[in-house]
Amino acid sequence: WALQILISDSLLAMSSAPTTSPSVDKVDGFSRKSVRKAKQKRSQSSSQFRSQGKPIELTPLPLLKDVPGVEQPELFLKKLQQCCTVFDFMDTLSDLKMKEYKRSTLNELVDYVTVSRGYLTEQAYPEVVKMVSGNIFRTLPPSDSNEFDPEEDEPTLEASWPHLQLVYEFFIRFLESQEFQPSIAKKYIDQKFVLQLLELFDSEDPRERDYLKTVLHRIYGKFLGLRAFIRKQINNIFLRFVYETEHFNGVAELLEILGSIINGFALPLKAEHKQFLVKVLIPLHTVRSLSLFHAQLAYCIVQFLEKDPTLTEPVIRGLLKFWPKTCSQKEVMYLGELEEILDVIEPTQFVKIQEPLFKQISRCVSSPHFQVAERALYYWNNEYIMSLIEENSSVILPIMFSSLYRISKEHWNPAIVALVYNVLKAFMEMNSTLFDELTATYKSDRQREKKKEKEREELWKKLEDLELKRGLRSDGIIPT
């Protein structure tokens, strides 16, 4: 990647080389932001609050495999304690030897928890948790730039990853180990621990978020007592994300975990879960950076509907409420999600929402943005949706007809016009009597609409006149 930037930078320099007046643009303002930003040196960062500035000395310990079995648990504890020491990775030159020593020790610990038996004494639990907490829990450093745009910018990577990765690796092996006993661990892996873990999901480093996902998933699976708490805290993170900050890097990862959590919900769904769907998951659709987690979000929604089809109506109404008005890219995403929902919709539910739904679809179909129109028209390639439309053609056809008819004449994009012809043809085959009727009345309907529009305008005019006439006398009107 860095190489690519170098190349494109030099290309830029070359392209502006021939025009050498004193105030020539050395960087052209139209290049992509990511290209321009490549000049920044820092692509790595780390919380620096912990570094002490003095050199760190650790006394090397023998390898675990080199000591007799009985001494191993003791040595294991000692190694855990050593690994609590945290190094400053922003300073690439300091403590090189000790950094390497800790790395190899961590590696050894990873192997050890994977293969050994009988090492997990009760004293080991607090030490493991202490070592993991000491390494991974930190205040995440401020983002490189204020306007960090996850879609455009390269993420800042965690500088201490060489150690951090091994700590995560170790922790996952520990949680997955056959000897691991949640009943003992729950004293140390508690609500506070989980809370700190969840805060780390805001890390800009995708590698870290990936590990966190696995860790949280294991914890959710093994600690029944923490489940409700975890869900509630994720709730809070999402609500803050939607309504306060619009910034949280780990939304996709959390949704991914939720997808499998929802999958495991017992039936009938608790009110808490339904509330989560309506008050948290649906509003998540409004966020600007939707594209970063839309796939996971749509998956969660569909999971819910497969569990409980009666939720279809509130979900679709929710989507219609938040339907994007100006962002075509988002509109395409909404249409995609809607198709996923329609794929699993029950005919009885479909009937309940078909009117508002197809009013929206008819608007999408006539969108001047051809990708939106195209995405909506693709619904007619879906056999299941087609069968639903066919069953309810008497309702849907009148809603769709005028848009389709108009686009078939007016749309600028020939591909759209072709698609519309197919749809019209399908409708004609479905219900030819109704189709003929609608075609016959199309003109008079249009005229009626125009007339109605005009009448409305006149009403408003009349109202304004009244207003002028009555002036402030209306102050006296008190509602009953």
Partner 1 sequence: MAGADGDDSLYPIAVLIDELRNEDVQNDTETQLYSLKMYSIIHIFYNTIYDEDEVLLALAEQLGNFTMLVGGPEYVHCLLPPLESLATVEETVVRDKAVESLRKISQEHSPVDLEVHFEPLVKRLASGDWFTSRTSACGLFSVCYPRVSSTVKAEIRQHFRTLCSDDTPMVRRAAASKLGEFAKVLEPEYVKSDIISLFTALASDEQDSVRLLAVEACVSIATLLPQEDLETLVMPTLRQAAEDKSWRVRYMVADKFSELQKAVGSEITKNDLVPAFQNLLKDCEAEVRAAAANKVKEFCENLPEDNREQIIMTHILPCVKELVSDTNQHVKSALASVIMGLSTILGKDNTIEHLLPLFLAQLKDECPEVRLNIISNLDCVNEVIGIRQLSQSLLPAIVELAEDAKWRVRLAIIEYMPLLAGQLGVEFFDEKLNTLCMAWLIDHVYAIREAATCNLMKLVEKFGAEWAQNTIVPKVLGMANDPNYLHRMTTLFCINALSEACGQEITTKQMLPVVLKMSNDQVANVRFNVAKSLQKIGPVLDSNALQTEVKPVLEKLATDSDMDVKYFAQEAITLQS
Binding site residues, partner 1, CB under 8 A: 21-27, 29, 48-49, 51, 139, 141-142, 192, 195, 236, 239-240, 243-244, 279, 283, 321, 325, 359, 456, 459-460, 462-463, 466-467, 474-480
Residue 39 has, within 13 A of its CA and on its CB side, a CA count of: 6
Would you say 107 or 275 has its CB closer to partner 1? 275
Closest CA to 132 of 81, 202, 72: 81
Q: How far is the CB of 479 from partner 1 (least distance, A)?
A: 5
State the Cα–Cα distance between residues 418 and 421, nearest whole angstrom.
Answer: 5
Q: How far is the CB of 260 from partner 1 (least distance, A)?
A: 25
For residue 467, what are the CA distances in angstroms to 454, 460, 473, 479? 20, 10, 10, 18
Would you say 450 or 462 has its CB closer to partner 1? 462
Would you say 107 or 139 has its CB closer to partner 1? 139
Q: How far is the CB of 156 from partner 1 (least distance, A)?
A: 13
Q: How far is the CB of 49 from partner 1 (least distance, A)?
A: 6
Query: Residue 120, SS3?
Result: coil
Would you say 50 or 425 has its CB closer to partner 1? 50
Q: How far is the CB of 474 from partner 1 (least distance, A)?
A: 6
Cβ proximity of 307 and 267 under 8 Å: yes
State the Cα–Cα distance between residues 216 and 254, nearest whole angstrom.
Answer: 9
Query: Residue 158, SS3?
Result: strand
Would you say 173 or 369 has its CB closer to partner 1? 369
Q: What angle do CA 133, 144, 333 make, to 5 degrees?
A: 90
State the Cα–Cα distance between residues 84 and 81, nearest whole angstrom.
Answer: 5
Would you say 139 or 394 has its CB closer to partner 1? 139
- For 395-460, give the DSSP string: HHHHHHHHHHHHHHHH-S-HHHHHHHHHHHHHHHHH-HHHHHHHHHHHHHHHHHHHHHHHHHHHHH
Would you say 242 or 396 has its CB closer to partner 1? 242
Cis peptide, bond prior to residue 268, ω within 30 of zero:
yes
Q: How far is the CB of 17 from partner 1 (least distance, A)?
A: 13
State the Cα–Cα distance between residues 283 and 238, nearest whole angstrom.
Answer: 9
Would you say 187 or 192 has its CB closer to partner 1? 192
Residue 446 has, within 13 A of its CA and on its CB side, a CA count of: 9
Structure tokens at 4: 């690519």
Q: How far is the CB of 236 from partner 1 (least distance, A)?
A: 6
Q: How far is the CB of 354 from partner 1 (least distance, A)?
A: 16
State the Cα–Cα distance between residues 316 and 334, nearest whole angstrom.
Answer: 10
Would you say 173 or 279 has its CB closer to partner 1? 279
Q: How far is the CB of 22 from partner 1 (least distance, A)?
A: 5
